[in-house]
């Protein structure tokens, strides 16, 4: 099975290209954070950048901006190409089939680097968050086109995944 689920911060505004066939390709990068304790018991963090490609994306995906937190479902796609120097290269990216916005930072936050939390801060916070202004969380009162609460649409797949991982 080739399946990926990511929660991370968009690293740069989405780029949309229209192909000769009329299809659109939306691409952007996402930073995820892995936290772990080292041998001395101190918390360490590792940031991983992922390239994401979405074919014929919905407008909310095409409008993604740097700093937004997103939930992505898709698969790993590895492709080979010839670089401008003539050398054979390999690119790995996430081919997304579902992208949901978890929160939208205010305009000032959007101009800052899309960095995962540092130290003991919860996700959604940044070291200078108080100076830059509070982020605007998506609430359960936000509805999608089907009339379902947006939070339910987001949290249902995550809850199912967590139940599998934790074994609940």
* 143-155 tens-digit pLDDT: 444 444 444 444 5
Residue 34 pairs with which residues in a beta bridge?
Answer: 46
pLDDT mean over 94-116: 70
The answer to whether 49 and 12 have CB atoms below 8 angstroms apart is no
Round to whole Å and give the CA distance between 94 and 43: 28
Q: Which CATH number fits domain 4-135: 3.40.50.1780, 2.40.50.140, 3.30.230.10, 1.10.132.20?
A: 2.40.50.140
Residue 99 has pLDDT above 50, yes or no: yes
Segment 31-68, tens digit of pLDDT:
999 998 999 999 999 999 999 999 999 999 999 999 99
pLDDT mean over 150-165: 51
Query: Strand 43-55 to strand 88-104: parallel, antiparallel, or no bridges (unpaired)?
Result: parallel
Domain locations in the chain? Answer: 4-135, 138-168
End-to-end CA distance of the chain: 22
Distance of CA 59 to CAs 43, 69, 121, 154, Å? Answer: 38, 16, 32, 17
Q: Cβ contacts of residue 54 below 8 Å, gap of 6+?
A: 25, 26, 27, 61, 95, 96, 97, 99
């Amino acid at each position: 099975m080739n399946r990926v689920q990511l929660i991370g911060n968009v690293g740069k505004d989405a780029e949309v290209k229209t192909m000769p066939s009329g299809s659109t390709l939306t691409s952007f990068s996402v930073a995820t954070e892995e936290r772990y304790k080292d041998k001395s018991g101190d918390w360490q963090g590792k940031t991983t950048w992922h390239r994401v490609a979405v074919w014929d994306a919905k407008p909310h995906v095409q409008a993604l901006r740097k700093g937004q937190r997103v939930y992505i479902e898709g698969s790993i796609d590895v492709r080979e190409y010839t670089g401008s120097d003539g050398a054979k290269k390999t690119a790995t990216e996430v081919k997304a089939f579902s992208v949901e916005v978890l929160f939208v930072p205010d305009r000032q936050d959007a101009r800052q680097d899309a960095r995962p939390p540092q130290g003991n801060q919860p996700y959604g916070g940044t070291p200078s968050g108080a100076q830059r202004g509070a982020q605007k969380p998506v609430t359960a009162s936000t509805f999608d086109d089907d009339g379902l609460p947006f939070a339910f649409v987001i949290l249902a797949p995550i809850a199912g995944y967590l139940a599998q991982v934790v074994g609940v």
